[in-house]
Amino acid sequence: MERPPADQESLWRNLPPNPYEEEDLPPLEDWPPPEIKARWAERRERERQRRSFRRKALLSLVVIAALIVGAMWVDRRAASPHKRASGPAGPRPELLAWSVDLGFDRLVTVVAVPANGPPVAVAIPGVAQVDIPGGGPPTIDAATLSPALMVAGVQAALDRKVDHYVASDASTLMTLVDELGGVQVEAESSFLFQGQSLGPGTVRLTGGAVLAYLESGQPEDLTARWEDVLAGIFSVRGERATKAWADVGGQSDALATVRTTLQRAAGALVLELPTAPTPEGAVAIDTKSVSDLVQRNFGGAGGQLVRVVLLNGTGRGGLGSDVSALLAPAGFRIVAAQEAAQRIVHSTQIAASGEAFMAKAQQVQALLGAGMVYVDSQPTGIADITIVVGKDFKAH
């Protein structure tokens, strides 16, 4: 092979080294160099921070927009206070006291219709003692001589406000049973009706036969027999029951509401109010068991009673019955009564235990038709309202 001229060979020998020769490249595992890696990491961190900032800014805008919309909605609600919430309201819970006068005996039942849950009917023994201080009737049976005092007795037994009441008679009960098409009763023993022996066991009774069954037993059996009849009455449902209860009459504070409540009570579970014998042989309310029964079964039916202390400054006795008859249907309960420090007081005084009870104290004033209302600077702690009844109070 022909060699290049000497001058060309010299030129090739004097060329600078090739920077791209393989032996001059850094090893692959060292590429890219640490300083480049550091610049890339720094760039990625800046980008991450920018994205995080953008997300937080967007979230803040969404929250601010939601607060603005919420404030506008509240303003519209405030501007229209009479607008009802969407959806129909549920039925109002009710607690009803129902008495039936058989002549020699009287029957008392409490019917509770909760907003949620099944209705219940609670039979209260007439011999059960109740505490209506100030000379009130001593038993449920004695309290039924007046519908208003019947309410006072029931409220004392349950420690629960009664919403409405109705006082019926034997004729009303007979008509109700007949309009229901008769009722099926689990008779505890045999009895005579129109010369025919009925029971014991399951029998279907007309209105007249129901009265015969109630009146033929011993006094101590009356409540149990009334429970048997109540179970038959409330077992009837549908259109027949609706029509029969719509015709129920009696002395009532709100008869239309009472009828509706009794219609809603179809299918009610029948219970007896818990009682216990006293050492003297009487029958007392078992307050602990009654409280449990009410909590389990009444739901929102009834309400909190307003506690009243009564101080008698009239100089005459028996004031508890008169005042209870006026106040009980409005949800007040006399929890204590005694003579006033001054035997004769000319002007009735009605003291609320705090500003929260001023409206109730004014209601008492209206019910009594007398009295001066004020806030007691030293409330008793056992009552919401204290009444010092004076000579200006006239029993209705």
- Which pair of structure tokens corresponds to residue 217? 């037993």
CATH of 306-389, one of 3.30.565.10, 3.90.1150.10, 3.30.70.2390, 3.40.50.300: 3.30.70.2390
**How far from 246 is each of 110, 179, 180, CA to CA, in Å?**
18, 10, 11
Per-position b or e across 318-356, b if 16+ CB within 10 A of its CB: ebbbbbbbbbbbbbbbbbbbeebeeeebeebbbbbbeee
Per-position b or e across 20-49, b if 16+ CB within 10 A of its CB: eeeeeeeeeeeeeeeeeeeeeeeeeeeeee
Q: What is the pLDDT of residue 318?
A: 83
CATH fold group of domain 94-297: Aminopeptidase (3.40.630)
Determine what percent of the chain falls in helix, strand and coil, rounding each to the nearest 5: 40, 20, 35
Identical fold between 94-297 and 306-389 = no
Give the Cα separation of 109 and 107 in Å (integer): 7
Residue with tokens 């909590």: 295
Q: Where are the domains of the chain?
A: 28-79, 94-297, 306-389
Give the β-pairing of 164-169 and 251-252.
antiparallel
Alpha carbon distance, N-terminus to C-terminus of the chain: 149
- Which pair of structure tokens corresponds to residue 133? 């201080």
pLDDT tens digit at each of 396 positions of the chain: 445 555 544 544 554 555 444 444 455 455 556 665 566 566 556 555 555 555 554 445 444 544 454 545 444 544 444 444 444 556 889 999 999 999 989 999 999 999 888 999 999 999 999 999 998 999 999 999 899 999 999 999 999 999 999 999 999 999 999 999 999 999 999 999 999 999 999 999 999 999 999 999 898 899 999 999 999 999 999 999 999 999 999 999 999 999 999 999 999 999 999 999 999 999 999 999 999 999 999 998 999 999 999 999 998 888 999 999 999 999 999 999 999 998 899 999 999 999 999 999 999 999 999 999 999 877 777 899 999 999 999 987
